[in-house]
Every structure is written in structure tokens, then in C-alpha cells.
A and B are shown apart, each in its own frame.
Chain A
Amino acid sequence: MNALKTPPPHLEACGISKRFGSVQALEDVSINVQPGSFQALLGENGAGKSTIVKCLMGFYHADSGEIRINGTPTRIASPQAARRLGLGMVFQHFTLIPSMTVAENLILARPNLPFVIDWKSETRQLADFLKQAPFQVDPHSRVSTLSAGQKQKVEILKELYLETRLLILDEPTSVLTRDEADEVLGFIHRLVKKGELSALLITHKFREVMAYCDEVTVLRRGRFVGGGKTASLDVSGMAEMMMGEARVRNEAVGTRSPAGRSVLRIEGLRARGDNGLEVLHGIDLTVRAGEIVGIAGVSGNGQRELVEVIAGQRGATGGRISVNDEDHRPTRAMLRNHKFCTLPEEPLKNAAVARMTVAENMAFGVFDQPPFQRAGFLLDRKAIARLGRDLIAKFSVHPPSPDAPIGELSGGNVQRAILARELSSGQVSVLVAANPVFGLDFKAVDFIHERLLQTRNQGVAVLLLSEDLDELLELADRVLVMSGGMIVHETTPEKADPAAIGRQMAGHHS
């Protein structure tokens, strides 16, 4: 591994512009990554962060502007060309093949692999490489058996194995616990300090920027809006640059009254996962009226299956769900009687029919009731269109066309449309929401959060599952931690210790 001695390249992107159809994704953006620096790229969704790094990595080609490597203007035609220059990228989603071992994944990533692989020499080289690697992973373990944190480490190991000198990380900690994130970023930080690596971190977590990065570049709507040394910036300043306006909590959410009697009760709930093994080992929880109960946890610890059981997408193998002490099963009649609403994650997949119109999707809860259904079988399409227009206006869905297929809306607007449907039935007594703001920009996040608080303040029992601990600490009245298919910890936001919750999430139960 003599190549570890080659210094990282000096990367400059000057005046990069890129247009997709009618959208100007980037306009005159410049980035300068000095050798051995750890730089952050901050911005909302759609700010152009991914576009610029994809230009650097050769996935896209800029319309204008210049990329310089060590001062030489360079055209990066393809990801392979970027790799030859020592540029590598870790994506938000994993690029490991789940059914293969760590060793197979690392070797498969190597360029110019011969047809017949000399496994003896490859394994020996790999063993040598892993010996001096900062974290230990068993090369023979199958990737599908690794935790998210371990997978992210393997992704980084893969980049080091490929002798990447400038590592671009696209929200690498979004699937990690706080401790895992610190371990991964701390490791990169050490390599940067040793001068062996430069790093460009795309993130929206100010904590990570402040703790690990030397410099920041902030983008908004495809333009450079600010930046500089982290030491000279503070969090509120960066947030203002990102959003362009200060965030004001809408006063219309009302005030919270004390939680009432228990409404939603889940007792000893068990279910099997996709692989046939039990993933929910007896979940017990209660949500009272006028209270948000948050469930924190790293994804893959049974949260998805829990919501699927609650929503009726997955059968339970044991246990009981009740609303106001009556048994609850997700039939249409019971959902109506119990005023039970669900906002599952990925609503386009789990709560909508992508090819049907926005109005039709909004009518899913009521289409079989008068006035939307007449004479017991005829749909009143006018009434459905009216409902669609109403809800679109009330929840500011954009574009405001009830006849567009819902699949053509952006993620945030699908989320709004489904939330509108769920809350439209008038009186709600239970709302279950899973990762309701995943992938949304700040404005949409604020909108959804306000609606959740408003709903709570109207006396609804809200169960909120999220992978974002900060979101839960901000919204929830009680926080439960889920790990390995069990509720392992309960706390309140006032008493919560994020580090302790992180340990619980990672499965270190005291």
C-alpha cells in the first residue's frame, strides 16, 4: 500500500452551471477542496448539492465552468475517470451487494479485474489491507448480515481499498446512530489530519459540520450563498444561509392540554419479517389522547414491520391492538369507527396508488360512504373532485390539480396529500406516522411538524416513528427506544440524554 503515501489532489470547481430542462440546478458554483481538508457542503433538498458532486464524479457534465485538479483544467468524463484521479464517493444508499461477502464486494469493486480471479493472491492482499485498516470487519461475513453502521464502514473501506484520495460522502450518517456516526466521521477526520485523505461531506446535520469539518460551503437553489472556516461560523448563521429566512414556528398550532386517557394500546405484539424470522418480539405501548409518543431507533429494528402490522400490510403472529379498549383490526369499518389514521413511510408506495389522480387518492377513505357513493354502488365523481380541490387548498398541495396522477407530485406534496386525506375525515382519535418528513425540505418539514402538533393539541393520540432523534426530541411528549424488535427504553425529551439513547438504539442495553 505504497500508494497511501500519494498526497490527496487539490480539487477546484470554478463557476459550475448545470441546467436540467427548465430547471437551473446549479448557477456559477465554485468549490475549493485543499489537500488534507475536511469540507462540508450544506443545503436543503434541491439546493444542488448532489448535482455538483455528480459533476465532480463524472456522472453529469457541467454546462459551463471548469474543474481543476492540482491546478490543471481537467475534464472528468465518467465515474471511472474520476476514480483514476483518486476521487471516490460514498452514497446515501449502500452500493454493496447484499448476498455477497465483504471480500467479494471489495474485490468486485476493483477496476480491471481479470476474468478468472486469483483468489489466493486477492485474499492475501485484502488481508494485508485489512490488517492496517482502522476498523475490523470479518471479510467472510455476508453483507446482508451486517448492521447499517458496519455497512457504511465497509463502503469507506472499499474506497480506501480503491486508493481514493478525495472522498465525497453524501449524507453518510443518515442511517447511523449518533455513536456510529461519530466513529465513522472521527475515523475520516483522523485520516484527513494525517494528510492521507481529503473529504467533502454533504450533510444537513450542523453538529457533524461543527465537530469535524474545517470549511463549509452553503448552497441554496443552485447558488453559492455563503461559507468559510467553520471556526468563524455559528449554527444559526449557517441555518439562515441555507434557508434564506429564519424559521418561525406557526402560532396556529394551539397549545397543549395535558394528556388524557389511553386511546391506542398495543400489547405483546409479535410479527415475522420478510425472511420468516420473528422481528417483533412482543411490543407493548400505550398512547394517550393529546400526546405524541415517539419511537426512536435505527432503521431495521422492526419499526417498518410494526407500522405494517398496524396498517394491516403484515399479519401479526401474536398480541393485540386496541383503541379505547376495543379490539382493533385494520378493516375499513374499524378504521372508521376508531377514527384511526396512518401516515406510513414512503406514502407513494404504502398509502397511494401512483397512477390514480390526486383527488381519487384523497377519496380512498370515504369513497364508499355517502355523499361520495350513491345508491350503494355509484361513485359521485363530482363530489370526489370537490373533496380533492378542498383538501388541495387546505393543505397547499402543489401543483393544485386534482386530476394529476399522484405519482407525478414531489415527495413533499405526496406527503401533504396523504396527510390531508388521513386528517380530513373530521374527527381523528389515533394517528400513526412513520418517518413523515424523510427526504423533505425544510418548508415541507415545518408544515408536517406543525400539523402533527396541531393534531396532538386537538386531543389526538399520535404515535410517531422516526429515525431522526432530534425530530422526536422536538415533537414527542414521551420517547420510546426500539432496538432488536423490542421497546428497550423510555424517556421524556426533558430528561433525555442523546448519548444514552444512542447507546440504547445501538443495542447496548444497560
Chain B
Amino acid sequence: MQSQPETLGLWGIAVALAGGAMRGSIPYMFVSLGECLTEKSGKINLGMEVILLMGAVTAFGVSDVTGSPWLGVLAAALVGMTLGALHAWLTQQPSVNDVAAGIAMIIFGSGLAFFFGKRFVAPMAPQLPLIDLGSWSSAGAIRSALRISPLFFIGIALAFALHWIFTRTSWGLKVRAAGDDPQAARALGINVNRVRFIAITIGGALAAIGGAHLTLYFPGIWSEGISGGQGLMAVALVIFAQWSPRRCLAAALLFGGAQALGPSLQSLGVNGYYHLFNASPYLLTLGVMIATCTPHRRLAGMPGALGRK
């Protein structure tokens, strides 16, 4: 894998970072798009962290048993839908708070994921086929850096599709209406609860596909710490992206890039401060929260009724 780092230099760092950003952005992309859809309808789903985890373990298990990674992705999406539907049902009960329900989901779901994941700790499941973007180069490092999962391109297409749905379809308008002013939406004859239920359920499916990437891409193993808080960071990312699917894409690349900083420097022989560089997505999340949250104004683009019945 490792060729001559000194011959690659700055160019090498750039390519390694770009490749790392594309790889690392995939879970952020799917979870943030799922959360974006959920929040546009006026609900918060912190349980995305555990949907990511359940997606990862389901995809791994199904891929291992059936030998088909794509079936794994599909199964992950179905599990994500189920968890999303559970969250939707929970949060639509009278006096259930979105955040509290989300935290309960995290505790419940992590236990579930670790339970099912126990037997998968050792092996390696069949992985998704990769798309080679680096075949033009003769340098092995560049070629391996630019082997990208097809989920990356599906994620990009999804972001644009979601934008199209929000602006061009009647269901998209209903989701935005439900999230911005549910009372007004009800007066327009919109079934707010049903619109939200569907949005949260689909959002869960998207997040679980992000989880599938975690176990169906190199190194393709399941471990309990695999999600590493990416589901929660994606919630912050949606705020940063001002609830716009296309900006979610850019923000996911930024977070993916921050995550790739440590590994790509290491692959070039820079080993100092490895753990500090690995902490950069968390630092970035903190920075985003500090920069965007102020008591003095409402956030731009925020759905008016976020977190309210």
C-alpha cells in the first residue's frame, strides 16, 4: 500500500485528503440527509447515532450470511426504517419530548446492536465493490486513495433528489409546512402526523445506509465503537448546513476531510499528534456549535416548529 511518501509530497497529501474526505463523508452524508428530512418535518431524531450502529451491524450480518453486500445495504435500510418508525411513533405521543426519546433510543439501540454484533466481532463480511477513480495514476498510494465506494455517488444523487423533493413536489411542500407551522399546515388540511411519520421513517432508512458503509467498506469488520459519535455529529452538521440538503453534502465532505486528516498524514509518514488529528471532527463539531449558536437570534433556515408538537 505504502509507496514512497517523499516522492508524493504536498500533492500526495492533497490526493490522500480528497480520497479520505470522499470515503469519510459517506456516513455523515447519509445521516445528515436523513436528519435533514426528519428536521424539515419538525422533529429531531438524536437516535440517528444508534440507527447508524444498527445499520452497520445489520449490513454486516446480512452480507456475511448471504454473501451479497447489496442485500446487506437493503436490510440495513429496512432496519433503519423500523427504528425511524419507532421514533416517529414515540415522539408523536402526547408530552413525549424528541430529545428524551432520542436518548432513550440510543441506550436501547446500542444494547441491541452490541447483542446482535457479538457473533460478528471476529470475521470479515463481503464488501461493496469499489469504483476506481485513480486508474490514471501509476502511484499506488494515489490509486488506493481514490478507490471510492458507490455509496458516495448515491449519496450525492440523494442530496440533489431531496432538494428537488423539497422544492418541486407537493409532498416536499407538505413536509416543510409541517415543520414550519404545524397549526397552519393542519388548517390547510395536511395530515401533519402522517407526513412527519413518513419523513422520520425515510430519514431512518437513509441513516442506516450510512451505517452499512461503516462495515461494508475497508477494513470491513464490525466493532462496537464503529460509529464513533458520527450520528450525533451529523445532527450538528445539519445545523451547520442550515437545513439544506445540498449544503449537507458540502458539510459532510468537510467533516469527512477532518476525519481523514489523521490517517492521511500518517500514511505519508507523519506520525506525531496522530490522536490529536483524529479528534479533528469533534473539534470541528464544537467549533460549528459555538459559531452558529447564539441566544440572540434564530438560526437561518431553521424549521419554525422544530421539536414542537
Contact = CB atoms under 8 A, between A and B. Distances in A.
A and B pair up = yes
Given A108-B170, A117-B168, A91 B180 contact: no
B224 interface: no
A113 interface: yes
Contacts of B181: 96-98
Interface stretch (A8-16, A126-134, A273-281): A273-281
A114 interface: yes
Nearest to A91: B187
Given A97-B180, A99-B180, A108 B304 contact: no
B174 A117 contact: no
A95 B188 contact: yes
Nearest to A277: B297
Contact of A97 (B168, B170, B184, B296): B184
B40 to A, nearest CB: 10
Given A97-B177, A273-B297, A109 B168 contact: no
Nearest to B294: A276
Most buried by B among A80, A107, A275: A275
Given A98-B181, A116-B168, A108 B296 contact: no
Interface in B99-135: none
Given A113-B170, A115-B169, A117-B170, A98 B296 contact: no
Interface string B129-170: 000000000000000000000000000000000000000111
Contacts of A99: 176, 180, 301, 303-304
Contacts of B171: 115
B4 interface: no
A206 interface: no
Interface residues on B, range: 20 to 34
Given A98-B180, A108-B177, A276 B297 contact: yes
A79 interface: yes
Nearest to A315: B296
A275 B180 CA distance: 16
A95 B184 contact: yes
Interface in A215-254: none
B198 to A, nearest CB: 13
A119 interface: yes
Interface in A76-129: 79-80, 91, 93-100, 104, 107-109, 111, 113-117, 119
A95 B183 CA distance: 7
A76 to B, nearest CB: 14
A70 to B, nearest CB: 24
A405 B184 CA distance: 29
Nearest to B168: A117
A313 to B, nearest CB: 11
A329 interface: no
B185 A97 contact: yes
Contact of A94 (B170, B184, B189, B297): B184
A92 to B, nearest CB: 11
A272 interface: yes
Nearest to B178: A97
B174 A108 contact: yes
A222 B296 CA distance: 45
B10 interface: no
29 contacts: A80-B189, A91-B187, A95-B183, A96-B181, A97-B177, A97-B180, A97-B181, A98-B181, A98-B304, A99-B301, A100-B173, A100-B176, A104-B173, A107-B173, A108-B173, A108-B174, A109-B188, A114-B170, A115-B170, A116-B169, A116-B170, A117-B169, A117-B170, A117-B173, A272-B296, A274-B298, A275-B297, A276-B294, A276-B296
Interface of A: 79-80, 91, 93-100, 104, 107-109, 111, 113-117, 119, 272-277, 315
Given A100-B176, A115-B170, A115-B171, 20 more contacts: A91-B187, A93-B183, A93-B184, A94-B184, A95-B187, A95-B188, A96-B184, A97-B185, A99-B176, A100-B177, A108-B170, A109-B188, A113-B173, A116-B168, A116-B170, A119-B168, A272-B296, A272-B297, A276-B296, A276-B297
Rank and list the top 10 A-B pairs by shortest CB-CB distance, nearest first. Answer: A276-B297, A95-B187, A113-B170, A95-B184, A97-B177, A108-B173, A99-B180, A274-B298, A97-B180, A275-B297
